[in-house]
Chain A
Amino acid sequence: METILVLTHTDESGSALTKASLEAVTAGLDLAAQIKAALTISIVGAGAKAAASVLASTGARLLAVTGEAFAQARYATDAAACEALCRAANATIVLAPGTSRFTRVAAGVAHRLGGFIDTHITALGGAETIEASRWFYRQRVEAVLSRDARPWFLLLDAGTHTAFAGEPATAAVEEIAVQLPALRTTVSGFRAPAQDAQTIRPDAKLLFVAGAGWTKKQPDGQTHAAEAGELILGFLHATSASLGSSKSLVDQGGEGEPVLPFLTHMNQIGQTGATPRHPKGLSTCCHGEEPHVVGWRFIGDRRAISLDPNCGWSRGKADVVYVADAFPVMAKVNALLEAKKA
C-alpha cells in the first residue's frame, strides 16, 4: 500500500500556505482517495504550525518543520527540512508544488532518500498504478509516465489543481526536528521592480505579448520605440495584464537596437522563456513561430495582431488573427478602455 506525503511551504508572511501548496494538498487528497492510500501533509516555514489550521479538515496526519532558519528559501535548510519530513512520514509517494522553493531542493532530497523524481507534472491518473503526465521538449511533446521505484517524488505545476480551501480550525501538528548543516548561504531578500513597474503578473487573466515588430521601422521610415512603450504600458495599466515578450525583442538590448526599457529576459515567453498560465492571451507584433508559441501551451483563448496574414498565429496557433498595424489598434484600444473606466 502506498503512503502519500504532500510537502508544502508557507508564503512570505510565514504563517500561511502558498496557493501552489494548497493546490498540491488537493492533488494529495484526490490521489489518496483514488488509490486508497494513507495521507500525510507537511509544512516548511517559520510559522508552519500556525499555517496548519487550514489543513485541519483534511483529516491527514500533519507534520511541520518550523523556526527562523526556515523563514527563507535556501538549499541547505530546505533540503534538510524536506529530508526530515520525508523520513518521518516514510512515504512512498511524495507530492510537492513546483514552486521555486521546492524545485530548488526536491531532486536533491529524492537522491538523499534513494528515490526518484519527475517534475512539471500536469495531471495524475492511472487505475492500478500511478501515472503522471508531463511535457517534453518545452511543451511540444506530451508523455504519460510511471515508475516502479520508490520513493517517487512528483512536483506539480502550478495551476493544474484547484487550491484546497478548508475552514481554519485547531490542528494537531507533529513538529519534526531537523539537524542543520553548517550554513554558508544567507538570503538577504528579494529584488523586484517598483510595484507600479512590475509587469509580470502570474495571476492576471490576460497575457499581453510584445514582439520585435514594436521597435522596427514604421511606414514613415522611423522607429517609434518610445511611443510603443507608452502604448504597451498604457494597456497594462488599464487591464492589469501580465507582460510577455518574444526572445528577439528582449535580445535587442544587447544588439544596440531600440529597446523597451521595462522588458527583461524574465518577460520572455517560449523555448528559452516562461510558459505561463492565463485564461487569455493577446500577441502583438510577433510572428508566432514555434520557438515562441511553445510558451503559449497553457494560454486559453488566443488572439494576435500581426501585419503578416501568413504568420504562425494564422496557422492554427491562435483563435483570431487581426491583420493590422498594432500601433493604431492599441492606441484605439487604450482610448476605449480609458473611456470605459471614466
Chain B
Amino acid sequence: MANVLHIVVCAGIVPDPLQTLEPVTGPAGPGLKNEMVLPAVLDPWAASALYEAANLVAKNPGSKLWLVSLGPKAKLQQVMMTIAQKVAFELVPVDGPIGGFPDAHATAAALAETIEAIPGLDRTKCLLFGGWESATRGAGVTLQLVGERLGITDQFQGVDQIDLRDDGSFEVLERVEGGKHQVSACAGTPAVLGWATGNLAEPRNNPQVGMANMRTIMPALAKAKKASLEANGLRYVSVSLPKQQRTTRVEKNMTPDAIAAELVEWIGAE
C-alpha cells in the first residue's frame, strides 16, 4: 500500500565548484567577489535530497514535492533552468541574500516561516529533506533548526538511504564515524532527513518535465517573498583565503622502481 507523503526539500544555491572564490568584505559583511555573476548550481547534497524525494514521490501516488530555496531571484531562476529538467516539483522561492556568510539561525527562521505558509501542506505527512551540510556555510545546522521550529523531533543526518514500509514507518541509514551507518526505524512522518549522497544517480535532463515545471516556477519567482536575514550577533573578525601554497617537486624521469622505493621509505618514515 502506498503512503501519501508531503516532501519539502530545502536546497540552497552555491557557486559552481570549479569557480575560483575570493572573499571580499563590504558594508553588509563578508561575501565573495563577483558573487552575483559566478555560475551557480543547486547545492550538491541538497540535490541528492531532491532526487531521493522525487523517487519517493514517484513510488507513492498522491504524494507531493515542494522545493524551498532561498537566494536572489535572478540566481534562483538561472539554477532552476537546469534543475527543473531533472524532476517534477513545485518551487517555493524566498528572495534573500546569497552565500555562506549570513547567519544559519536567520536562514532557518525564514525557511520555517515559508514552509508553514505552503498551501496544502499537511505537516503530519511531512518529510523535511535537505543536504546534511551545504557547500557554502557547511554548518549542517539549518535543517535541524527548521525542524525544531516546525516541532519535528525525529531527525536524521547524513542519510544515505530510506526504506518506506507499507505501514508508513521507515528505516533510515545515517552516516556515523568510521565508515559505518547507524540503522534506525521511525514510526512515520513527520521527520527531518539531512541527506548525504544517497544512492541515486543524477537524473537525465527531461525537457518535458522542464516545460511543466517552468510553467509554475516563473510565476512563483515573480511572487517570491523577500527575506532579510538578521545577524543575530554574528560578527566576522576576518575572512581570508588560506595562504598555504606548497612548493611542489615534480619528478618526471624516475623509474617505477625508484618511485616505489622512495614511497615505501616515505610511508615508513615517522
By a beta-carbon cutoff of 8 Å, the part of chain A in contact with chain B is 72-76, 79, 99-101, 103-108, 111-112, 116-120, 126, 131, 135-138, 140-149, 181, 184-193, 198-202, 206, 239, 251, 254-255, 265-268, 271-272, 280, 282, 289-291, 297, 301-303, 305, 309, 313-325, 328-333, 335-337, 340
Q: Please determine whether B180 and A192 come into contact, CB atoms closer than 8 angstroms.
A: yes
Q: Given contacts A137-B100, A303-B263, A316-B246, are A322 and B251 in contact (CB under 8 A)?
A: yes
Q: Please determine whether B187 and A108 come into contact, CB atoms closer than 8 angstroms.
A: no
Q: Please determine whether B248 and A321 come into contact, CB atoms closer than 8 angstroms.
A: yes
Q: Please determine whether B135 and A198 come into contact, CB atoms closer than 8 angstroms.
A: no
Does B11 interact with chain A (Cβ within 8 Å)?
no
Does B235 interact with chain A (Cβ within 8 Å)?
yes
A135–B17 Cα distance when bound, in Å, is 15
B232 CB to closest chain A CB (Å) equals 6
Does B26 interact with chain A (Cβ within 8 Å)?
no
Q: Please determine whether B155 and A75 come into contact, CB atoms closer than 8 angstroms.
A: yes
Q: Given contacts A116-B232, A265-B160, A271-B135, are A320 and B248 in contact (CB under 8 A)?
A: yes
Interchain residue pairs A-B with the least CB separation, the first 7: A200-B179, A332-B260, A254-B201, A107-B141, A149-B233, A265-B197, A291-B17
A68–B188 Cα distance when bound, in Å, is 23
Interface size on B, residues (CB 8 A): 86
Q: Which of B21, B100, B148, B200 contacts A111 (CB 8 A)?
A: B148
Q: List the A side residues contacting B144 at CB < 8 Å.
A: 104-105, 107-108, 111
A132–B78 Cα distance when bound, in Å, is 35
Q: List the A side residues contacting B104 at CB < 8 Å.
A: 107, 117
Q: Please determine whether B15 and A111 come into contact, CB atoms closer than 8 angstroms.
A: no
A146–B266 Cα distance when bound, in Å, is 41
Residue contacts A-B, CB under 8 angstroms, 30 given = A100-B175, A100-B182, A104-B174, A107-B141, A119-B139, A136-B101, A137-B138, A138-B138, A140-B241, A141-B100, A141-B241, A142-B240, A146-B235, A190-B180, A190-B181, A198-B178, A199-B179, A200-B179, A201-B179, A202-B177, A282-B267, A309-B250, A319-B248, A321-B249, A322-B263, A323-B251, A324-B251, A324-B259, A330-B260, A332-B260
Q: Please determine whether A290 and B17 come into contact, CB atoms closer than 8 angstroms.
A: yes
Q: Which of A99, A112, A192, A329 contacts B179 (CB 8 A)?
A: A192
Does B239 interact with chain A (Cβ within 8 Å)?
yes
Q: Given contacts A187-B184, A317-B248, are A266 and B240 in contact (CB under 8 A)?
A: no
A72–B174 Cα distance when bound, in Å, is 13
Q: List the A side residues contacting B264 at CB < 8 Å.
A: 333, 336-337, 340
A201–B180 Cα distance when bound, in Å, is 11
Q: Which of B15, B235, B241 contacts A148 (CB 8 A)?
A: B235
- Residues of B167-210 at the interface with A, using a CB-CB cut-off of 8 Å, are 173-188, 196-198, 200-201
Q: Given contacts A76-B153, A136-B136, are A190 and B183 in contact (CB under 8 A)?
A: yes
